[in-house]
Amino acid sequence: MTSAQLRNRCLRCCLAVAVAGGCLVAASPPASAAVTVTRVVFTTAATSSTKSAVATCPAGLKLVGGGGEIIDGLGVVVVTDVIPDQDLTKLTVTGAENDPLASTWKVRATAICSSSFTSVNLQSATSSDNGTSVDEKSTLVECTNGKQVLGMGWSLSGAAGNVLPSVLTTLSNPPDAAVVAADENGPLATNWDLTGYAICGYPPVAMTFQQGSSNYDSASPKTASVDCPAGSVMTSAGFDNGGGASSTRGGLLVDSLMVEPGKTSASVQVWENDFTPPAANPNWSATSFGLCAS
């Protein structure tokens, strides 16, 4: 299944559901009697090279989701990886320059941690086009045994900042699989790989999948936000940059997908980059997704 087909399937489901080097840990009161979460934030020092931030959960808590952002990237530094570790104790977020940037920038990772979910495990899947230079890759990561998606992520290998993530979302409500897609930002001669991740588990009450979209116009950057229903907390953030003409494919750069400090909302920020083929000021939109637990 191509990423375009996956994106279309996602959209049909959505319509149906219609300081440097510092670490901050903020505990959340219960959103209900059943669910508590802790938000852990780690920010790197400011440099001008590719770097990673690692947010680590406190002892006794499992990683269930999160997100990351680039600070002072000026629209040319992309979030290339959001990777949960196999033991679900930490989240690694990496940023890389898509175009040379003279000034320095930081990477911030946000981990959402909890003990409110049972049988939590990490699932991963690779694109069937890995090991090639195919310009658009996607993968589907499924939870098993009736588990639901609590968090999502991806990694890119061999891309060196020249491949832009385009989709991080799920397919149903309650969510049982994650969809990840990425596009080359202009032709690459080298091979590159895409891996998708889903953190799966049993929630006290069924997870819900929420979405919010930006305006559809030619402005850049765009921010899209999404809120959880009252009494719920956000475990993970996602996005879809498919709200535009085909000329925008591979030309939209995500530099922020964050679970906000209140832990009930998420946001994504997207910038126009170099469209391939060149497009004359096209209209497009960004969509933010959130996974909510109550």
Q: Residue 71: enclosing H or E segment and its boundaries?
A: strand 62-71
Asked if 268 and 205 count as a contact pair (C-beta separation under 8 A), the reply is: no
Spelled out in words, what is the top-level CATH class assigned to the domain 3-293? mainly beta
> How is the chain split into domains, by residue range?
3-293
Q: What is the pLDDT of residues 76-128, one digit of tens each?
A: 999 999 999 999 999 999 999 999 999 999 999 999 999 999 999 999 999 99
CA-to-CA distance for 255 and 156, rounded, in angstroms?
15
Identify the pLDDT of residue 247. 54
CA-atom Rg of the chain in angstroms = 17
Identify the pLDDT of residue 17. 37
Structure tokens at 252: 């939209």
204 burial class (0-12, 13-18, 19+ CB within 10 angstroms)?
middle
- Beta strand extents in 128-176 (DSSP E only): 136-142, 148-157, 163-170
15 burial class (0-12, 13-18, 19+ CB within 10 angstroms)?
exposed
Rounded to whole angstroms, what are the CA distances from 232 to 139, 171, 177, 255?
Answer: 29, 20, 20, 26
223 burial class (0-12, 13-18, 19+ CB within 10 angstroms)?
middle
Asked if 228 and 290 count as a contact pair (C-beta separation under 8 A), the reply is: yes
Identify the pLDDT of residue 248. 65
Asked if 120 and 192 count as a contact pair (C-beta separation under 8 A), the reply is: no
Q: How many CB atoms lie within 10 A of CB 86?
A: 10
Identify the pLDDT of residue 283. 84
Asked if 36 and 235 count as a contact pair (C-beta separation under 8 A), the reply is: no
Report phi then psi at 8, rounded to 5: -60, -40
Task: Provide the residue-wise pLDDT of the chain in tens; the chain has 294 residues.
Answer: 554 555 444 443 443 333 334 444 443 333 344 799 999 999 999 999 999 999 999 999 999 999 999 999 999 999 999 999 999 999 999 999 999 999 999 999 999 999 999 999 999 999 999 999 898 999 999 999 999 999 999 999 998 889 999 999 998 899 999 999 999 988 888 999 999 999 999 999 989 999 999 999 889 999 999 999 999 999 999 999 865 555 566 789 999 999 999 999 999 999 988 765 455 678 889 999 999 998
CA-to-CA distance for 115 and 261, rounded, in angstroms?
19
Query: Whole-model pTM?
Result: 0.88
Amino acid 121 reads N
Identify the pLDDT of residue 11. 41
